[in-house]
Amino acid sequence: MSWKKFFGKAIRNKLLADYYLDRDESKHKIYNEAYQKDLETFVSQYEQSQDPMYQAGSDQSDEMGSMRILHASTYESVPVDVYVNQKPVVRNLPFSGITEYVSLPSGEYQVEMFPAGRQDEAILSQSVTIRSRRAYTLNTADVGTDLGVELLSYEDDLRKVPRRSKVRLIHVSPDMKRVDISVKGGNVLFSDVDFREARFISLNPGIYTWEVRPAGGKQAEFTIPNITLKPGKDYTLFTLGRVSESPALQVVMVEDTLEYDR
């Protein structure tokens, strides 16, 4: 979503908040909070769009790559601010939140995350490589027993499968080491997927209910109803959170809307 869309959302929510100011206190509060959130995102993305770092090479699309970031660390599950080469990319990204794709010239970048509103001590600081005409999903993940956080990088395969739907699973739930994803009452789609592993499958378009299970188990830990898969579309499914602790196990599914011809 571009800054223009967040600008429109901010204006809409501001008008609604003002309308309900003396009419309905609860609605005024809801719309005002939405306005503040959209305003922050608009300002962040607008300033980013004006920054030379993001504009460089914009007239030479072959030199550009893209990345997006998912906040999936259960150890540092507080909202975070994300910086790339010391420039803000997104502020107040909640646990399980994922950014839109950001276009960057190919090269090396330093990605830093801080607790939202602070910049005194980074949760992580890690170098990533962006190649031209490639897209990447980066996500935070727990680092075993030392309670650290690292940034995992997955290259996105955005080539379409005609008349089929392509789905990728990225498994980053730290206390559910291996998982199966199955159709409720039907076949297993992803079998024995390890922690931090990513896999692709293609499926017939349709509406599904899926279950997340410990690998080899029959009892669902999480059910995902009403999944709509469209022909020629790509999707990524993330399992994150914890089975036995907070933040709770959850699933995030997004459509991979960026396209590159290879």
Distance (Å, whole) CA 146 – CA 150: 11
60 shares its domain with 80? yes
162 shares its domain with 258? yes
Q: Using one digit for the tens of pLDDT, what is the confidence trace for 102-139?
A: 889 999 999 999 999 998 889 999 999 999 989 999 99
196 shares its domain with 229? yes
Q: Using one digit for the tens of pLDDT, what is the confidence trace for 175-210?
A: 888 999 999 988 999 999 999 999 999 999 999 999
Segment 158-173 shows an average pLDDT of 92
Give all strands (DSSP E) within the chain, no chain letters. Answer: 64-70, 80-84, 87-93, 102-105, 107-115, 124-130, 135-143, 148-155, 165-171, 178-183, 188-194, 198-203, 206-214, 222-229, 234-240, 250-255
Tell me, what's the pLDDT at 58?
Answer: 42
Give the residue with greater pLDDT, 128 vs 2: 128
Tell me, what's the pLDDT at 115?
Answer: 93
170 shares its domain with 78? no
Show which of 156, 173, 202 is a domain's final residue: 156
87 shares its domain with 72? yes
Query: Sorting pLDDT into bands at 50, 70 and 90, what band is 8?
Result: confident
Show which of 156, 186, 206 is a domain's final residue: 156
DSSP state of 100: P
144 shares its domain with 209? no
- CA distance readout (Å), 201 to 99, 166, 190: 24, 6, 8
112 shares its domain with 205? no
Q: What's the CATH code of the domain at 113? A: 2.60.40.1120
pLDDT over 50 at 59, yes or no: no
Segment 159-180 shows an average pLDDT of 92
Q: In the numeric block, which tokens belong to residue 16?
A: 């609604």
Beta-bridged to residue 232, according to DSSP, are none
The total domain count for the chain is: 3
Q: What's the CATH code of the domain at 225? A: 2.60.40
Give the residue with greater pLDDT, 142 vs 56: 142
164 shares its domain with 258? yes
114 shares its domain with 19? no
User: What pTM does this model have?
Assistant: 0.76
62 shares its domain with 123? yes
10 shares its domain with 86? no
Domain that holds residue 122: 55-156
Query: Sorting pLDDT into bands at 50, 70 and 90, what band is 158?
Result: confident
Count of C-beta atoms within a 10 Å radius of residue 131? 11
Show which of 12, 30, 50 is a domain's final residue: 50
Q: Using one digit for the tens of pLDDT, what is the confidence trace for 208-256?
A: 999 999 999 989 999 999 999 999 999 999 999 998 888 999 999 999 9
Q: Using one digit for the tens of pLDDT, what is the confidence trace for 75-96?
A: 888 899 999 999 888 899 999 9
Tell me, what's the pLDDT at 55?
Answer: 47
Phi and psi (nearest 5°) for 206?
Answer: 160, -170
